[in-house]
Chain A
Amino acid sequence: MLDAEFFRRWMTATAAAVDREAERLTELDSPIGDADHGSNLRRGFTAVAAALEKDPPDTPGAVLTLAGRQLISTVGGASGPLYGTLLRRTGKELGEAAEVSEAQFADALRAGVDAVAKLGGAVPGDKTMVDALEPAVAELATSFRAAAEAAARGAEATVPLIARKGRASYLGERSAGHQDPGATSTALLFAALAEAAGDGAEG
């Protein structure tokens, strides 16, 4: 069973990973975006970690809804609403239980991913975070480690794709040959999940 402490560890580990990788995310965002994905997510997850430390919620659902709200209020751009919606929706699905099973978490995350797809209108293959989210959530029932590996593979697989959503889509064919920064940060989120579970530290 997974408790609030587990989900706090997940968010803290994500904040650390985003902080560590912020410059790489911004580098990836330069040729096909506007060179700020790392700094924007760092601002958001720093706020998440601070909010969770200041007033730690005592249920898994409350941890994720608080994290989602923080991201929506601090990140801006497209990644704020998208990551914010992912966590908030997942948190709402978890309800008020003090502990949730891994199967319940997988179902909740499925609902969160669907909410992201609906908000952004992206489908797999559009060169967005969905390309890492979909394979990750599909592997979640296997293990957190498998989900993290699937997300990383999904992010790498965005390299040859032509972007159809977001700012990179304006480049048309010139967007091919670059790894999508959003899919890359999604891979960090799942690597942190595996890390929080003690399921392999590095993604």
Chain B
Amino acid sequence: MKMLINVAETVVADALRGMAAAHPELTVDVENRVIVRRDAPVDDKVGLVSGGGSGHEPLHGGFVGRGMLSAACPGEVFTSPVPDQMVRAAAAVDSGKGVLFIVKNYTGDVMNFDMAAELAEDEGIQVAKVLVDDDVAVTDSLYTAGRRGTGATLFVEKIAGAAAEEGMPLERVEALARQVNENSRSFGVALSACSTPAKGSPTFDLPAGQLELGIGIHGEPGRERRPMMTAGEIAEFAVDAILDDMRPRNPVLLLVNGMGATPLLELYGFHAEVTRVLAARDVAVARVLVGNYVTSLDMAGASLTLCQIDEELLRLWDAPVRTPALRWGM
């Protein structure tokens, strides 16, 4: 697999150098792998720190900025960052009002953020944690590591970020983040596997004419493989997988997310089908985001995320945001 890189060993550091060059409004510590808002710590504001393996860009570094994350910690490709990064980030953004860790539910991320929380508290930083686990494709929570954190991470980071920007206390920001996660569900499909720079070839073998249903964002195969379906059929399958788990009574935020290698032409066509299916199922859509936001390197495919909202969540969603990957209202 050809890749636009120098060598596999330096892909994360190289990308961080590029982030630094492109975004002077961020402080990018390439050596210690922390991306921080340049104006941090902001007085009297809860700090928001997230992080995870690289390969999901723009998540999380692309969501650092006003109205969203205070800092992000990128790990190696598909590998959780280490506690040292998170402690450094927490110290950089804490104004004394505490720090919220936003953690996607993967074994490694959970362990490293838990260790970091203990270390940060030893340094006198008040830390709260919220776990994102929105992926309905993981059906058996008793015999697995539990539902994975995917697209809902964007909703949690945006809404908690707006709440923190308004000066809400840590307990309130944490409660809102938890509410967003509890009201969110996701489902993803892959048309091709992704290739990690370290391996250089696809992480699993997906024959031509087949797709994977219920994939994660780390190149792991899904729960089920089927002959290729049309965009309309995939939309029906994904929407119904979500609605089987959560039947929204309120309007929803909708994220139609590309996995990295699916052209926007296809993604918008898919979105048209999703819109049709949601209307047929009487689900009202309040806001829509279509694009590549929570990716899996060069995987082709898409995921859907629905978040049931109320007036406060919608107000916080609409609040101004200025980050490399998400910006409106300012």
A contact set with B: CB distance below 8 Å: 26, 30-36, 39-40, 43, 72-82, 119-120, 162, 164-172, 174
Q: B108, A81: Cβ atoms under 8 Å?
A: yes
Q: B144, A40: Cβ atoms under 8 Å?
A: no
Question: Which one of A75, A119, A172 lies within 8 Å of B82 (CB-CB)?
Answer: A75
**A34 to B148 CA separation, bound complex (whole angstroms):** 14
**A120 to B221 CA separation, bound complex (whole angstroms):** 23
A104: min CB distance to chain B, Å? 27
B129: min CB distance to chain A, Å? 15
Complex interface: stretch among B14-22, B161-169, B212-220, B267-275? B212-220
Question: Which one of B76, B112, B115, B145 lies within 8 Å of A170 (CB-CB)?
Answer: B145
Q: Which 8 residue pairs of A and B lie closest in terms of their CB atoms, listed nearest first?
A: A78-B108, A169-B144, A77-B108, A81-B111, A77-B79, A78-B107, A35-B199, A34-B78
Q: Which secondary structure characterizes the binding site on chain B? A: loop
Q: A172, B218: Cβ atoms under 8 Å?
A: no
B65 at the interface (CB under 8 A from A): no
Given A31-B204, A170-B144, A36 contacting B198 (CB threshold 8 A): yes
A184: min CB distance to chain B, Å? 17
Given A26-B199, A164-B143, A171 contacting B80 (CB threshold 8 A): no
**A39 to B82 CA separation, bound complex (whole angstroms):** 15
Given A73-B84, A82-B111, A36 contacting B78 (CB threshold 8 A): yes
B298: min CB distance to chain A, Å? 14
A7: min CB distance to chain B, Å? 23
Q: B218, A80: Cβ atoms under 8 Å?
A: no
Q: A35, B203: Cβ atoms under 8 Å?
A: yes
Please name all residues of chain B whose beta carbon is closer than 8 Å to the beta carbon of A40 when the two chains form the complex: 76, 79
- Known contacts A76-B76, A172-B223; 18 additional CB pairs below 8 A are A26-B198, A36-B77, A36-B199, A73-B82, A73-B83, A75-B79, A75-B82, A76-B80, A77-B79, A77-B108, A78-B106, A80-B82, A81-B112, A81-B115, A82-B111, A167-B145, A169-B143, A171-B223
A18: min CB distance to chain B, Å? 15
Q: B80, A77: Cβ atoms under 8 Å?
A: yes
Task: State how many residues of chain B have any CB contact under 8 Å with chain A.
Answer: 35
**A34 to B75 CA separation, bound complex (whole angstroms):** 14
28 pairs of residues in contact across A and B, judged by CB atoms under 8 Å = A26-B198, A30-B199, A30-B204, A31-B204, A35-B196, A39-B198, A40-B76, A43-B76, A76-B53, A76-B75, A76-B76, A76-B108, A76-B112, A77-B53, A77-B79, A78-B80, A78-B107, A80-B112, A81-B111, A81-B115, A82-B111, A164-B144, A165-B145, A166-B145, A167-B107, A169-B145, A172-B143, A172-B223
What is the 8 Å Cβ interface bit string for chain B, positions 214-236, against chain A (1 contact, 0 not)?
00101111010000000000000
B98 at the interface (CB under 8 A from A): no
Q: B111, A33: Cβ atoms under 8 Å?
A: no
**A74 to B77 CA separation, bound complex (whole angstroms):** 13
> Which B residue's beta carbon lies closest to that of A122?
B107
**A80 to B110 CA separation, bound complex (whole angstroms):** 12
Q: A34, B196: Cβ atoms under 8 Å?
A: yes
Please name all residues of chain A whose beta carbon is closer than 8 Å to the beta carbon of B218 when the two chains form the complex: 34, 167
Please name all residues of chain B whose beta carbon is closer than 8 Å to the beta carbon of A34 when the two chains form the complex: 78-79, 196, 203, 218-220
B125: min CB distance to chain A, Å? 19
A128: min CB distance to chain B, Å? 10
Q: Which secondary structure characterizes the binding site on chain A? A: helix
Q: A72, B83: Cβ atoms under 8 Å?
A: yes
Q: A170, B138: Cβ atoms under 8 Å?
A: yes
B81 at the interface (CB under 8 A from A): yes
**A36 to B200 CA separation, bound complex (whole angstroms):** 11
**A143 to B222 CA separation, bound complex (whole angstroms):** 43
Q: B196, A167: Cβ atoms under 8 Å?
A: no
B140 at the interface (CB under 8 A from A): yes
Please name all residues of chain B whose beta carbon is closer than 8 Å to the beta carbon of A36 when the two chains form the complex: 76-79, 196, 198-199
Please name all residues of chain A whose beta carbon is closer than 8 Å to the beta carbon of B111 when the two chains form the complex: 78, 80-82, 119-120
Please name all residues of chain A whose beta carbon is closer than 8 Å to the beta carbon of B140 when the two chains form the complex: 172
Q: B216, A170: Cβ atoms under 8 Å?
A: yes
Max count, chain B CB within 10 A of own CB: residue among A76, A119, A169: A76
A16: min CB distance to chain B, Å? 19
Given A164-B143, A169-B145, A76 contacting B220 (CB threshold 8 A): no
Please name all residues of chain B whose beta carbon is closer than 8 Å to the beta carbon of A168 when the two chains form the complex: 220
**A34 to B196 CA separation, bound complex (whole angstroms):** 8
Q: A76, B82: Cβ atoms under 8 Å?
A: yes
B83: min CB distance to chain A, Å? 6
Please name all residues of chain B whose beta carbon is closer than 8 Å to the beta carbon of A167 when the two chains form the complex: 106-107, 145, 216, 218, 220
**A171 to B199 CA separation, bound complex (whole angstroms):** 20
What is the 8 Å Cβ interface bit string for chain B, positions 89-132, against chain A (1 contact, 0 not)?
00000000000000000111001100100000000000000000
